[in-house]
Amino acid sequence: MYKKAIAFLIAGIVIGGLGAAALDELQTNASRTIVVFAGAAAAPVYSEAASMFESKYGVKVELRLGGSGSLLSAMKIAETGDIYIPGSTDYLLQANEIGDVNLAVSQAKIMAYLVPAIIVQKGNPKNVTCLEDLAKPGIRVGIGDPASVCVGLYAKELLEVNGLWTAVSPNIVTYAQSCEATAALIPTHAVDAIIGWHVFHYWNPDKIDIVWIEPSKIPKISYIAGAVTTFARDRDLAARFLDFLASTDMRETWAKYGYFSTVEEAKAHAPNAAIEMIED
């Protein structure tokens, strides 16, 4: 009886210790925060992912959304942020060059693919059918700021490659400061058409229509990829959130907002377009 009592006592101490450790870990996670600097090209997805991740792991995700270039500058100046997810590879490569991320240490995680498209008001009242129509008199065009917004840079390059920048640029009445702000130009009737990502249509389908660009005129497509920054306080936790964003658990959420999960889906709309892959 004495030996049994000792055995039960030891077992109780071990189990109690494990329970306390688990509780401590849960409480620690609850007080942890991941700061994510992310281009607004996927704002709706990030918002849902942050809630799902917090519910699943007890870790708060603080989102700082905006233009990819502006976010990169802010992150560099403040030397803060655990994850950087720009709207295109161009800014992730810039982040690597200036040392905000180190792609040789933290490999980029690809989450979704984006195809440029013409976005118009519901019903397409100006009858915009192709890139050339953006040069017609009276068509108000909006794009993202090419100097700081990834989709703006893509729009400018798209027009230049097709020899249309000179003809269309006089019709550009505004340069938005983020992907989100670019998409908002249509439902607010600020412009008649924008060159944006195809997913903008799915953000507000009741007020927005999409005009697919002729496949042969699309020089390249983009993808959303992120990496742990050199400022990260907990690299393992940050990497876990990136893995979560690219996981099968999130695939349905990406699809709900119109994002392409595979290269094949994106290539269906731009079979000859280049994809600039990131190398370590």
- Do 55 and 126 reside in the same domain of the chain? no
* DSSP 8-state symbol, 101: B
Is residue 127, in this structure, part of any structural domain at all?
yes
Residue 162 to residue 130: CA distance in whole angstroms: 12
CATH number at residue 209: 3.40.190.10
Structural domain boundaries enclosing 271: 32-113+223-275
Q: What does each C-alpha distance from 198 to 21, 49, 172, 248 come to in angstroms? A: 47, 21, 19, 22
- Do 144 and 89 reside in the same domain of the chain? no
Residue 125 to residue 128: CA distance in whole angstroms: 8
Taking only the tens place, the pLDDT of each residue in 6-65 is 443 333 433 344 444 443 444 445 458 999 999 877 888 999 999 999 999 999 999 999
Nearest alpha carbon to residue 68 among 144, 174, 142, 157 = 144
Number of domains in the chain: 2
Sequence-distant (≥ 6) Cβ neighbours of residue 278 within 8 angstroms: 89, 92, 93, 103, 108, 225
- Phi (first) and psi of residue 273, to 5 degrees: -70, 145
Residue 242 to residue 199: CA distance in whole angstroms: 21
- Do 123 and 208 reside in the same domain of the chain? yes
- Do 45 and 163 reside in the same domain of the chain? no
Is residue 147, in this structure, part of any structural domain at all?
yes
pLDDT computed for residue 25 by the predictor = 46
Is residue 236, in this structure, part of any structural domain at all?
yes
Sequence-distant (≥ 6) Cβ neighbours of residue 240 within 8 angstroms: 57
Is residue 18, in this structure, part of any structural domain at all?
no
Is 233 in a helix, a strand, or coil? coil
- Do 202 and 125 reside in the same domain of the chain? yes
- Do 125 and 199 reside in the same domain of the chain? yes
Is residue 22, in this structure, part of any structural domain at all?
no
Model's pTM, two decimal places?
A: 0.78
Amino acid at the residue 188: T
pLDDT computed for residue 62 by the predictor = 96
Is residue 269, in this structure, part of any structural domain at all?
yes
Is residue 4, in this structure, part of any structural domain at all?
no
- Do 212 and 232 reside in the same domain of the chain? no
pLDDT computed for residue 148 by the predictor = 84
Is residue 154, in this structure, part of any structural domain at all?
yes
